[in-house]
Amino acid sequence: MIIVRDQGAVRVLTLNRPEKRNALNTALTQALLDALRAADADEAVGCVVLTGAGQGFCAGADLAEFKELTPGNQPLVEARAELSMQLHLAFPGMAKPVVTAINGAAMGGGAGLAIAGDLAVMAEGATLGYPETRHGIVAAIVMANLVRQAGRKAAFELVGLGEPVGAQRALALGLVNRVVPPERLLDEALALAQKLAAASRPAMRLTKELFHEAADLPLAAALERGREANKRMRSFRKP
């Protein structure tokens, strides 16, 4: 369900359920989580690129599984929610940076994955949206990251109206870093990933750690963490 290939120090992970627009069933969700953890543990890997097979990036949760996620099957409901949460926690927790290459529609949980990476490249013509309210459900786990990346008004518009946005609008909202023609998508993502992979591994690890902590801390606490990171980095800088 995940195609794994290495290009130098960059590991490319491809969601591979094109017949289902790469919808996230339990098996694919677990496979992606395992693949991210494996990439992070592999010393040969300096950066990860995540993309989708076929025309879509990821359609979100596989609605075919929803019939089993009922109040009468609470252990399964809880296990699936926990798995989804752990997947989204994996991205900021990785020492290795992740670049997402959004090749097509990214909806719901797929939109959450699209913006979960450290950098995002989106193809012209691709779309991103959170249509959950239209299906009578809630963009629950993916909302936490969306609120942190888009302004409150923009984030609520996305989850409240459930209307998808195009690549240029996603760029204007700061949800992606680049918009490129579809035929250049993977090349652009790989170029960014190769630059990230070439950075000092200890410096990148500490940069990611401090970045995600500073984003959620009050200023004084963030500066204290920066002070500690400043002292730590002296141990791995070359004289």
Task: Encode pLDDT of 162-194 as tens digits.
Answer: 999 999 999 999 999 999 999 999 999 999 999
pLDDT tens for 141-158 read: 999 999 999 989 999 999
Q: What is the C-alpha separation between 23 and 87, in angstroms, rounded?
A: 14
Is the CATH number of domain 2-197 3.90.226.10?
yes
> Minimal CA–CA distance to 114: which of 160, 207, 204, 49?
49
Helix axes 201-216, 219-233, angle to 10 degrees: 170
Of 50-54, 70-74, 96-100, 138-142, minimum mean pLDDT range: 70-74
Q: Report the DSSP beta bridge partners of residue 47.
A: 10
Give me the residue spans of the domains in the chain. Answer: 2-197, 201-233
pLDDT tens for 100-154 read: 999 999 999 999 999 999 999 999 999 999 999 998 889 999 999 999 999 899 9
Q: Which residues in the chain belong to E strands, given as ranges?
A: 2-7, 10-15, 47-52, 98-102, 106-107, 119-123, 127-129, 165-166, 178-180
Q: What is the pTM of this model?
A: 0.93
Task: Kindly list the catalytic residues.
Answer: 132
